[in-house]
Amino acid sequence: MSEHPGTITRPQQTPAAEHHMPADYRINVGNFERALSVIGGGALVLYGLRRSLGNLSLMLGGGALMYRGFTGHCAAYEAMGVSTANQDAGPGILLESTITVNKPVAEVYRFWRQVENHPRFMTHLESVVSQGERHSHWMAKGPLHMPLTWDADLIEERPNTLLSWRSVPGADVDYMGTVRLRELPDGRGTEVRLRLEYAPPGGIAGVALAKLFKTLTVRQLKEDLRRFKQIIETGETPTTTHQPVATASSMRERNVRNHQHSAVS
């Protein structure tokens, strides 16, 4: 699960661009898929060439596919937060999302550093307990008879900039979570970029892991980050659960209709 930095040399960037750069060039297409892209793209280009020059779109499409295969980067995948790059190792997920919160970077850093906070907004986590300065015990939500737990270490911390946790060798799941922080200019708050990677060790997913992967999507991660923002900014999350609504009435109406139906038949 190591990163493969892009090989394209880049000109001097603004701080904002530097912060965002790693996402744009990361390989997010798996090897087999890359080979398919090159072959398929090549075929399209040839096909386009053999027809009249008016089939530029075919050639462009083919060219794009080949580029995707050669570089391993798919812009569409990146936009969707999807990566098939790790699929050669077996099923797993890599998700990334970003949110901006109206709090100073130091406060945001402290919040993330305290791992007990994570389950407050990450719906897939049941609990996280710190055991010492850098060691913690994690439990994912799942059926009681199939708990998914792992130990992790804080492998990297740069105050107000980065926190990275990784599961210990031999854990039931290969986990890596990284949060990057960037203070925005002129009191605009803090940008938070979260990257989560889960993979089964040895490539074979257990039942509990497979269940986890089903529910943990980019969409879910976005909602989790929204919850984090709500909690750190307002201290609560908005809700309407159990608020009054005329359900009894509409149920009465449905029951009346059902009775009428059964009376007729």
Partner 1 sequence: MKAVCWYGTGDVRVETVPEPKILNPRDAIIKVTLAAICGSDVHLYDGCIPTMHKGDILGHECMGEVVETGREVKNLRPGDRVVVPFAIACGQCFFCTRELWSLCDNSNPNAWMAEKVYGYSGAGLFGYSHMYGGYAGGQAEYIRVPFADVGPIKVPASLRDEQVLFLSDIFPTGYMAAENCQLQRGDTVAVWGCGPVGQFAIRSAYMLGADQVIAIDRIPERLHMAKTHGQATVLDYQEVDVSEALKDLTGGRGPDACIDAVGMEAHGTSLDAVYDQAKMAMFLATDRLHALRQAIQACRKGGTVSIPGVYGGFLDKVPMGAAFAKGLTLKMGQTHVQRYLRPLLGRIEHGDIDPAFVITHRLRLEDAPHGYAIFRDKKDNCIKVVLRP
Q: What is the DSSP letter of 168?
A: P
Taking the complex as a whole, the smallest distance from the CB of residue 96 to partner 1 amounts, in Å, to 18
Instruction: Give the range of 59-67, 112-120, 154-162, 228-236 binding partner 1 by CB under 8 A.
Output: 228-236
3-state helix, strand, coil in the chain (%, to 5): 45, 20, 30
Taking the complex as a whole, the smallest distance from the CB of residue 121 to partner 1 amounts, in Å, to 13
Give 71 or 100: the residue with its C-beta nearer to partner 1.
100
Q: Give the Cα separation of 263 and 115 in Å (integer).
A: 59
φ, ψ of residue 236 to 5 degrees: the values are: -155, 170
Instruction: Give the range of 87-95, 107-115, 154-162, 240-248 binding partner 1 by CB under 8 A.
Output: 240-248
Question: What DSSP assignment string belongs to 216-233?
Answer: --HHHHHHHHHHHHHHHH
123 binds partner 1 (CB under 8 A): no
Specify the residue for token string 């969409």.
219
Q: Give the Cα separation of 123 and 263 in Å (integer).
A: 46
185 binds partner 1 (CB under 8 A): no
**Which of 8, 144, 246, 264 is the binder for partner 1 (CB under 8 A)?**
246
User: Is 180 in a helix, a strand, or coil?
Assistant: strand
**Which of 7, 12, 52, 249 is the binder for partner 1 (CB under 8 A)?**
249
φ, ψ of residue 29 to 5 degrees: the values are: -120, 130
Site string for partner 1, 37-66 (x = CB under 8 A): ------------------------------
**Which of 2, 9, 52, 239 is the binder for partner 1 (CB under 8 A)?**
239
223 binds partner 1 (CB under 8 A): yes
186 binds partner 1 (CB under 8 A): no
Give 136 or 190: the residue with its C-beta nearer to partner 1.
190
Instruction: Give the range of 4-12, 80-88, 174-182, 227-235 binding partner 1 by CB under 8 A.
Output: 227-235
Give 169 or 187: the residue with its C-beta nearer to partner 1.
187
Q: Give the Cα separation of 23 and 120 in Å (integer).
A: 27
Give 26 or 124: the residue with its C-beta nearer to partner 1.
124
First to last CA, the chain: 62
**Sheet of strand 148-158, all strands in order from the earlier edge strand to the far edge:** 93-101, 190-199, 174-183, 162-167, 148-158, 135-140, 125-130
Residues in the chain: 265
The beta strand positions in 76-130, using DSSP E, are 93-101, 125-130
**H/E element, 111:** helix 105-113
**Which of 233, 255, 256, 257 is the binder for partner 1 (CB under 8 A)?**
233
Which spans of this chain sit near partner 1 (rule: CB under 8 A)? 100, 102, 188-189, 219, 222-223, 226, 229-230, 233-250
